[in-house]
């Protein structure tokens, strides 16, 4: 895998080596040993998630208190703009965000460690997002920050007619959120 560093040091983009021939393609999308070497620590994924969405669906910005989740994210169909926001109060990049296009074409894999809020916007007709999580989903610990918070200032791709869940539409601003790290 080729590793792309980001301006937020703990966020990593993995670019797998893709082997193509007349039959199709093959690539390794996860290897525990090389992944742990890349991020510099042991990791245990306990849950795999699969999200299907149509164009203009925006999900997030989600995080969990007490049981924060690290996420290893990839898109197997379509494309999305995937975003992580640093919620670690002691971090030099606290409240900074980073976004990357993930798609079935570019096959990038995005590592978001514990301590970040996560969200994505579907930029294709439809998209399937798969991700591994380091802790179980915990409804009582689930929190969110409003997607368009002015203090964070995410530059989402321009789109009309966003589709956002009622739950995400009433998320608090960053200042009023329940931060945990």
CA distance to 60, 109, 151, 167, per residue, from 172 (Å): 12, 29, 12, 10
Select from 158, 146, 135, 147 the least CA-distant residue to 44. Answer: 135
The full DSSP string for 137-152 is --GGGEEE--TT-TTT
Does residue 62 carry a catalytic annotation?
Answer: yes
17, 50, 52, 131: the active-site residue: 131
**Residue 76 Cα to chain centre, angstroms:** 14
Angle CA(92)–CA(96)–CA(97) in degrees, nearest 5?
A: 140
As given in the structure block, the two tokens for residue 16 are: 């797998």
19, 62, 118, 136: the active-site residue: 62
Does residue 118 carry a catalytic annotation?
Answer: no
User: Per DSSP, what are the bridge partners of residue 130?
Assistant: 50, 74
Can you point out the beta strands (E) in the chain? Answer: 2-5, 12-15, 19-21, 24-26, 47-54, 58-64, 71-77, 79-86, 97-103, 109-112, 116-122, 126-133, 142-144
Give the active site residues. Answer: 62, 131
């Amino acid at each position: 895998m080729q590793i792309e560093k980001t301006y937020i040091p703990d966020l990593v983009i993995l670019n797998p080596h893709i082997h193509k021939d007349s039959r199709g393609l093959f690539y390794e999308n996860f290897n525990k040993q090389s992944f742990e070497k890349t991020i510099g620590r042991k990791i245990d994924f306990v849950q795999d998630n699969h999200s299907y969405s149509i164009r203009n669906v925006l999900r997030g910005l989600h995080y969990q208190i007490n049981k924060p989740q690290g996420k290893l994210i990839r898109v197997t169909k379509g494309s999305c703009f995937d975003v992580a926001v640093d919620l670690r109060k002691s971090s030099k990049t606290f409240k900074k965000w980073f976004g990357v296009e993930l798609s079935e074409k570019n096959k990038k894999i995005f590592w978001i460690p514990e301590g970040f809020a996560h969200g994505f916007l579907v930029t294709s007709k439809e998209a399937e997002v798969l991700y591994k999580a380091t802790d179980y989903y915990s409804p009582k610990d689930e929190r969110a920050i409003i997607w368009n918070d002015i203090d964070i200032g995410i530059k989402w791709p321009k789109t009309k007619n966003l589709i956002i869940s009622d739950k995400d539409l009433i998320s608090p601003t960053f200042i009023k959120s329940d931060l945990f790290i």
